[in-house]
Amino acid sequence: MNLRSTIVRVLLSSQMLITQTNADEPWPRHTIDSESRGADGVKIADIDGDGKLDIVTGWEEGGVTRLYLQPRGDLVRDSWPKVTVGKTESAEDAAFADLDGDGKLDIVSCCEGTRQAVLVHWNNSDGTPDSLLDEANWEQAEVPACRNASRWMFAEAISLPEGDGAALVLGSKNPNGQVSLLIPPTTGNRRNLSAWTLRNLATAGWIMSMRIVDIDRDGVEDILVSDRRSETSGIYWLKNPNSVSSEWTRYEIGLRGVPDVMFLSMVDEAAAPLTIVATAKPNRVLFFQPPAKPDRQWNVVRSIEYSSNRFGTVKSAVSLRDNKTKDVLKRDVVVTCEGAVGSKSGVFLIQNDGTNSGTNQPSYVDIAGELGVKYDRVELLDLDADGDLDIVTCEERDGLGVVWYENQLR
């Protein structure tokens, strides 16, 4: 199963129309789940094969990882059907990956607090919703090579030249901060996690984001990284040598030495030129595009500093795809924040200012209102099937949990 291509097909299945309307009121918020504590990120995949993207989330304070199946019709505005796939103390991230090569997506949890571990939740279901929602069909196991090796932050599946199924790219923070490759055995049972080996690809301070994308268009997947609070903080990519044993070369993209580089997102991953959206504290959103050869310093093609008086400290930013313009530098941008205390909003929209440079003062649309303090990464999905993109995220300080905001720009 090619997870990324499946997601792209679903996201591109409808035309997204964005028009202006009343921007004074926060958008309606719908709760997917608020029955634990510390929801920490959302990742998506179609795990039940119904053409709708489902969600996995790790709850850091609650110590669980949960899968949510997207319901049909108006039920999408209610709490979603869910299952706890494992007990995951200090979970920082949860991700989908077919690790045993059986064609079914498993789930991986990264733990970075009291428990420093990478946990695999094996999918023993028959793939139907009822079977997936049966807790007995999820089998949790720990990766021995990762136990107490670092504070594990993120996991992403990556294709390797050897074998079926996926390997894992892991990112962590100090002590022993690193970007590593968790490599499956070439023979034998891939569920024997003792046979998986950990290879350090790069040292790090605090990995904030990883994306798997073919940066140099050579047909193999590379690793895009943002790192903070280290001597080598910034945005860079690691070139895949298409060999497990060869060296992965690091190439700088930008923001080298900036202490608090946060999340990364991609704009139309298959389009040219490749465009990366990055965030840097306290309030910067930057668009990067590569030169003719992506192994050289990239160009900042759009830079925005938003109002810190109205909104929290930047966490994540995603370009809002629409059919008003094909120019990725003129699109609106969804931003999530942490530190959105008092009257500050933690989710908002930066509307296109009509210039490529982004130097003119943009306009803002408040999405979340005053509720919510610390939001996380964003996924854009047309959940209500009305032709525009809604915002899926999570909030972990005010207890809002896993939520989505219904687009009101139509």
pLDDT score recorded for residue 16: 34
Could you give the strand order of the β-sheet that contains 91-97, starting from the edge strand earlier in sequence?
Answer: 91-97, 106-112, 116-123, 138-142
Return contacts of 65-68, CB within 8 angstroms, 24+ apart: 65/91, 65/94, 65/107, 65/109, 65/119, 65/121, 66/33, 66/36, 67/107, 67/132, 67/133, 68/32, 68/33, 68/402
- Whole-angstrom CA distances from 73 to 30, 80, 105 are 14, 12, 25
**Nearest-CA neighbor of 385 among 33, 8, 6, 17?**
17
Tell whether the model's pLDDT for residue 265 goes beyond 90: yes
Are the CB atoms for 336 and 376 separated by under 8 Å?
yes
pLDDT score recorded for residue 353: 55
Tell whether the model's pLDDT for residue 21 goes beyond 60: no
Helices (H), 21-135: 129-132
For the stretch 183-196, pLDDT in tens is: 999 889 999 999 99
Give the separation between CA 4 and CA 408, rounded to whole angstroms: 28
Tell whether the model's pLDDT for residue 361 goes beyond 60: yes
DSSP 311: B
**Nearest-CA neighbor of 216 among 300, 327, 298?**
298
pTM of the model: 0.91
pLDDT score recorded for residue 161: 78
Query: Which of the pair, 272 or 74, is modelled with greater confidence?
Result: 74
pLDDT score recorded for residue 15: 31
Peptide bond into 26 cis (omega under 30): no
pLDDT category, 163, cuts 50, 70, 90? low
pLDDT score recorded for residue 357: 47
pLDDT score recorded for residue 11: 47
- Whole-angstrom CA distances from 183 to 97, 192, 200, 327, 395 are 13, 12, 11, 39, 33
Tell whether the model's pLDDT for residue 375 goes beyond 90: yes
pLDDT category, 24, cuts 50, 70, 90? low
pLDDT score recorded for residue 17: 30
pLDDT score recorded for residue 244: 82
Least confident of 273-277, 324-328, 384-388: 324-328
pLDDT category, 395, cuts 50, 70, 90? very high
Query: Which of the pair, 8 or 287, is modelled with greater confidence?
Result: 287
Query: What's the chain's average pLDDT?
Result: 90
Q: Where are any strands of DSSP class E within 143-260? A: 151-158, 167-173, 178-183, 197-203, 206-213, 222-228, 234-239, 249-254
Q: Tell me the torsion sign for CA atoms 329, 330, 336, 337.
A: positive
Query: Which of the pair, 362 or 126, is modelled with greater confidence?
Result: 126
For the stretch 105-132, pLDDT in tens is: 999 999 999 899 999 999 999 999 999 9
Q: Which residues pair with 316 in a beta bridge?
A: 336
- Residues 327-356 have a mean pLDDT of 87
Tell whether the model's pLDDT for residue 270 goes beyond 80: no
pLDDT score recorded for residue 283: 96
- Going along the chain from its start, the domains and CATH numbers come out as 26-405 (2.130.10.10)
Cβ-based neighbour number of residue 351 at 10 Å: 18
* Helices (runs of H) and strands (runs of E) counted in the chain: 2, 28
Give the separation between CA 103 and CA 120, rounded to whole angstroms: 16
